[in-house]
Structure 1
């Protein structure tokens, strides 16, 4: 194990650089086409089924619990019906095929086998394997950690990015629960940072307007957010303190796997992952990305 222990900032930088590699699966046209081919037609079904399939044919309660800020009613509209259309094994195969096709198309066959991708894959895999020794209380991560590793370097990189993302995600949920932050609190305070629109979060997470309005009122009553005359949300001092504490706690709960590659490895992984992510962002399909 490297002697240069990584800081939470080192680990966060590496994770952030890997994030576009993982989330490609949710936006690439290859994914929608591949899921449609196995009978999963709509995006909600694709998302809930594909992300939870690593845990097996679980019920809606398990999916809603591990996804946290999605409306349980939206999950119930999809799960377990999706499993009668396609088994978890079939969904996972479709998911991997879609990622393989998308990465090959965007990066090119030469780039997916490049030394840079191979080096990034090995670094990310080393950290992900270290995470696999720490599955306790991380059910969604543990499901993905139990899957077989792919063989091609670009797919190793994607799978490792997925594991590290779900490891961090499970830790973030633990931080939310410990801080007494409900699913709607999490969404409302996120929107109040100005980073994303509340309307997008409401629709993408399956909540009704009435549900979200109630969530805003609750956050206002607890002094976490304020709302101006035009309906714009802003974090209060208490809200900013809460969000900052949540991020710090999430970082602290996510750093352990990166000790396997050290601070130097984190910096190198971030550098390599950013070079891989650049053409993915240029494709214009990831959140916040635009072609040109």
Structure 2
């Protein structure tokens, strides 16, 4: 193991560089087409099935708990119906096919077969395999860590990005639970940062206007956010402190795997994947970039 252990902030930089490589499997046109071909012709069906399939044909309560911020009603509209349409093994094969197709289309065959891709895949896999020894308390990550590795460098990179994403996500949920933030309160404070539109967060997570209003009241009552008559949210000083603490603690809880590649490895991984990430942003396949196509 390298002796230049990365700081939590540098580990976050490496994760941020990988994130755009993973998430297009939920938003790309190929995803909609391929999932529809196996019967998952609804966005909720495809999303919840494709992300939870690594845990097997789990029930809606398990998915709601593992995903944290989604409405139980929205999850219940997709799970377990998805498993009656496509077995988890079929969903997982399809998702890998989607990743293969999307990376080939967006990055191009030259990039997919490049030495840059091979080096990035090797670094990311090393970190992800180190994470596999840190599964306690990380159920969604553990499910993905039990899957076989793909055979080609570009799909190895995608799978490693998936593992490290879910590793961080499980750790982040632990900080939300410890802070006693209910799912809607967590979303309210996230919306109040301005990082994503409130309307998008509410609709994409499946909450009704009434449920959302109740969540806002909870966050306001705890002194974490303020809401004007039009519904615009802003963090209070206590809210800003809480959000900063959540992110710092998430960084600390997520840094362990990156020690396997060291600080220089993290810097190199971010450098190698930068053009890949930019290509996905240019396609509008990353939240916060130009409008998505799916």
Q: TM-score range with shorter-chain normalisation?
A: over 0.9
SS of the aligned residue for 1:41 comes to: coil
Give the Cα separation in 2 of the matches to 1:190 and 1:3. Answer: 36
| Partner SS for 1:220 | helix
Partner of 1:30: 30
Query: Any unmatched runs of 5+ in structure 2?
Result: none
Q: Is the 8 A contact 2:196 2:288 kept in 1?
A: no
Of stretches 52-61 and 227-236 in structure 1, the one that deviates more from structure 2 is: 227-236
CA distance in 1, matches of 2:163, 2:95: 15
Question: SS at 1:163's partner residue?
Answer: helix
Deviations 1:197-223 (A, max 9, x none): 111111100111000000001111110
Query: 1:1-292 counterparts in 2 under 5 A?
Result: 1-290=1-290
Q: CA deviation at 1:66?
A: 0.2
Tell me by how many angstroms 1:73 deviates: 1.4
Pairwise CA distance, 1:3: 0.3
How far apart, CA to CA, are the structure 2 residues paired with 1:40 and 1:68? 22
Counterparts of 1:233 and 1:280, CA distance in 2: 30
SS for the counterpart of 2:144 is helix
* Greater CA drift, 18-27 or 229-238: 229-238
Q: How many residues align?
A: 291
Q: Is the 8 A contact 1:124 1:160 kept in 2?
A: yes
Superposed CA RMSD: 0.9
Secondary structure of the residue aligned to 2:290 is coil
Between stretches 72-81 and 7-16, larger displacement belongs to 72-81
**What is the CA distance between 1:60 and its match in structure 2?**
0.6
Other structure's SS at 1:234 match: strand
Alpha-carbon distance, 1:133 to partner? 0.5
Determine if contact 1:145/1:163 at 8 Å carries over to the other structure: yes
Deviation at 1:289, TM superposition (A): 1.7
Tell me, yes or no, if the aligned pair for 1:117 and 1:276 is still in contact at 8 Å.
no
Name the CA distance, whole Å, in 1 between partners of 2:102 and 2:17.
18
TM-score, reference length from structure 1: 0.98
CA distance in 2, matches of 1:285, 1:24: 5
Q: Distance in 2 between matches of 1:145 and 1:231?
A: 41
The runs of 4+ residues in structure 1 deviating greater than 6 Å are none
- Aligned-pair distance for 1:285? 2.9
DSSP-derived class of the 1:226 partner: strand
